[in-house]
Amino acid sequence: MLRHTTTRLLNNISTRNAINRTTIAAALRVIPTRKSLATSATKSKAKHDEDIDDFKLVVHTSADSKPAASKKTAADASSPGSNALKYAYQERSGFGTRPIYLDVQATTPTDPRVLDQMLKFFTGLYGNPHSNTHSYGWETNNEIEKARENVAKVIGANPKEIIFTSGATESNNMALKGVARFYKKTKNHIITTRTEHKCVLEAARAMKNEGYDITFLNVNEQGLIDLKELEKAIRPETCLVSVMAVNNEIGVMQPIKEIGSICRKHKVFFHTDAAQAYGKIPLDVNEMNIDLMSVSSHKIYGPKGVGAIYVRRRPRVRLEPIISGGGQERGLRSGTLSPPLVCGFGEAARLVREEYEADSEHIKKLSKKLTDGLLSIEQTTLNGSPIHHFPGCVNISFAYVEGESLLMALRDIALSSGSACTSASLEPSYVLHALGKDDALAHSSIRFGIGRFTTEEEIDYVIKAIKERVEFLRELSPLWEMVKEGIDLNSIEWSGH
């Protein structure tokens, strides 16, 4: 019955068949008809009807309610394209019109096949997987162990080395705090980098407050650490090196295998935050000498609120648990597991292996198209190494355009700047700063995330929309006017007030 509901929701896609990403993407969204758009425009109907033949891109955004506003906006500069989609999509899921989703580093949509696997745990299979005195417990536990195997296979690990957690944030905290606390009698030094995710930086800061010494490695202008600097930083009292595999803001891939061999040579444990890398780039814990790895389900089309930490058994890594209790998960993470989440994660992990080639090829192709399209706009730069780079994360600076204004003008595309506009703080991205970008450039940078369900039509639309809106915003900028006149802005002495 529930399976039927999901299936109906998915517009009769047989979720057991091999994936057809276009079919699934199309089932999740439908291009709005003129009629539906016309009814959504409540005000100035006459004006709207008049405009209906040259729809403004903005009418499909959250600004839908005021499509006929007289004030000229950046989006007014845009007009429908030829190859590109005419409009951002509308979802059929009952959540109204939505922008195109290009924020897959924040989270990915749940794959319908994952949801199908999860539903049975809310109905028949409700046993506690840790109950070992009856079949309710055994049957759920069997499913959990299948999930563990699927999660382990992606990185060449033994299933016994996988500990389920609530996500990569918890796993990162376990690695940094757990290892450091376990070895505190003899070791008190942790090495990490300046471009880690906040949860690693904050966990490191917490350990500093507990008296540990922390080295934050710098990165070069490409976003890469220097291996010699890493080797020099290792001391006899270093307990852990933690370096992320793929950066969430700029997609830069650190040389994980080389870092692993340096750490092994010096007998220091190596942890990597692979939240953005797991299932997306090749990772093998043995080949790369990785001792601990954090992964997250919702970055690979699985449910949110679940993840795992890989903890090597030989040579054994010891860590002090941060959650105490009934001793589940080898005593490292107490608490009853959530079977729907864990098994959804397991199915997502099975699918990333099965779809690896197709996903990688799809993402690479769309990424090239997007990058080429956006870099053809003058005065734009790709942030981070173009070579050591996961193509599904493209971060571009648009000089002389304020990031906030650009995001405002792009409300029909769900994007993130990784800077002030998307967070409560007013600081530009610390990651771009670490690469040596100045405030202005860091402020004009946008991250584009491409995933399994992104379509070529969406990319065509995005390229066109960005070109038009960057041009429009630059036309409003006195700085841009000066640049066009050939004035060297660095030669100007600005008067202070």
Ligand X SMILES: Cc1ncc(COP(=O)(O)O)c(C=O)c1O
The residues carrying an active-site annotation are 421
Residue 180's contacts (CB-CB under 8 Å, 6 or more residues apart) are 187, 188, 190, 207, 210, 212, 239, 240
Nearest approach in angstroms of CB 5 to ligand X is: 27
Amino acid, res. 458: E
Beta strands in 291-419 (DSSP E): 292-296, 307-311, 380-382, 393-398, 413-414
| In the complex, residue closest to ligand X by CB | 167
Residue 451 partner contact from ligand FES, ligand X, none using kind-dependent CB cut-offs of 5 to 8 Å: none
Per CB under 6 A, the list member of 417, 432, 455, 463 interacting with ligand FES is 417
Closest CA relative to residue 150, chosen from 240, 252, 278, 23: 278
Closest CA relative to residue 56, chosen from 90, 35, 88, 79: 79
Q: Does 377 bind ligand FES (CB under 6 A)?
A: no
Supply the DSSP symbol for 490: G
Distance CA 362, CA 455 (A): 9
Distance CA 347, CA 151 (A): 9
Give, as ranges, the residues between 282 and 311 that touch ligand FES (CB under 6 A). none
Q: Contact at 8 Å (CB) between 151 and 162?
A: yes
Distance CA 484, CA 151 (A): 54
The continuous run of DSSP H or E covering 236 comes out as none
Peptide bond into 315 cis (omega under 30): yes
Q: Contact at 8 Å (CB) between 252 and 277?
A: no
Residue 403 partner contact from ligand X, ligand FES, none using kind-dependent CB cut-offs of 5 to 8 Å: ligand FES
Residue 276 partner contact from ligand X, ligand FES, none using kind-dependent CB cut-offs of 5 to 8 Å: ligand X
- Give Cα 333 distance to the centre of its chain: 25
Residue located via tokens 């630059």: 474
Closest to ligand X by CB, 299 vs 464, is 299
Nearest approach in angstroms of CB 106 to ligand FES is: 16
Closest CA relative to residue 395, chosen from 195, 255, 230: 195
Give, as ranges, the residues between 44 and 83 that touch ligand FES (CB under 6 A). none
Nearest approach in angstroms of CB 404 to ligand FES is: 3
Nearest approach in angstroms of CB 57 to ligand X is: 28
Nearest approach in angstroms of CB 403 to ligand FES is: 3
Nearest approach in angstroms of CB 150 to ligand X is: 18
Closest to ligand FES by CB, 385 vs 422, is 422
Per CB under 6 A, the list member of 51, 284, 320, 404 interacting with ligand FES is 404
Closest to ligand FES by CB, 112 vs 403, is 403
Could you tell me the two tokens for 151?
């999660």
Could you tell me the two tokens for 67?
């499509």
Residue 404 partner contact from ligand X, ligand FES, none using kind-dependent CB cut-offs of 5 to 8 Å: ligand FES
Window of 50-58, 145-153, 186-194, 412-420 that interacts with ligand FES by CB under 6 A? 412-420
Nearest approach in angstroms of CB 199 to ligand X is: 5
| In the complex, residue closest to ligand FES by CB | 403
Q: Does 346 bind ligand FES (CB under 6 A)?
A: no
Closest to ligand FES by CB, 112 vs 449, is 449
Distance CA 389, CA 367 (A): 11
Residue 199 partner contact from ligand X, ligand FES, none using kind-dependent CB cut-offs of 5 to 8 Å: ligand X
Closest to ligand X by CB, 61 vs 248, is 248
Residue 279 partner contact from ligand X, ligand FES, none using kind-dependent CB cut-offs of 5 to 8 Å: none
Q: Does 431 bind ligand FES (CB under 6 A)?
A: no
DSSP string, 140-151: HHHHHHHHHHHH
Could you report how far apart the first and last alpha carbons of the chain are, in Å? Answer: 70
Q: Does 418 bind ligand FES (CB under 6 A)?
A: no
Torsion of CA 478, 483, 488, 490, to 10 degrees: 50
Residue 113 partner contact from ligand X, ligand FES, none using kind-dependent CB cut-offs of 5 to 8 Å: none
Q: Does 420 bind ligand FES (CB under 6 A)?
A: yes
Q: Does 419 bind ligand FES (CB under 6 A)?
A: yes
Nearest approach in angstroms of CB 348 to ligand X is: 12
DSSP string, 213-227: EEEEE-B-TTSPBPH
Closest to ligand FES by CB, 175 vs 446, is 446
Neighbours of 473 (CB within 10 A): 21
Closest to ligand X by CB, 168 vs 462, is 168
Window of 55-63, 134-142, 189-197, 417-425 that interacts with ligand FES by CB under 6 A? 417-425
Residue 397 partner contact from ligand X, ligand FES, none using kind-dependent CB cut-offs of 5 to 8 Å: none
Nearest approach in angstroms of CB 277 to ligand X is: 8
C-alpha distances in angstroms, 355 versus 103, 140, 361, 363, 368? 20, 26, 10, 12, 20
Amino acid, res. 45: K
Distance CA 267, CA 23 (A): 50
Using CB under 6 A, list all residues that contact ligand X: 167-169, 197, 199, 244, 248, 273, 275-276, 296, 307
Q: Does 443 bind ligand FES (CB under 6 A)?
A: yes
Distance CA 420, CA 381 (A): 20
Which residues lie near ligand FES (CB under 6 A)? 403-404, 417, 419-421, 428, 443
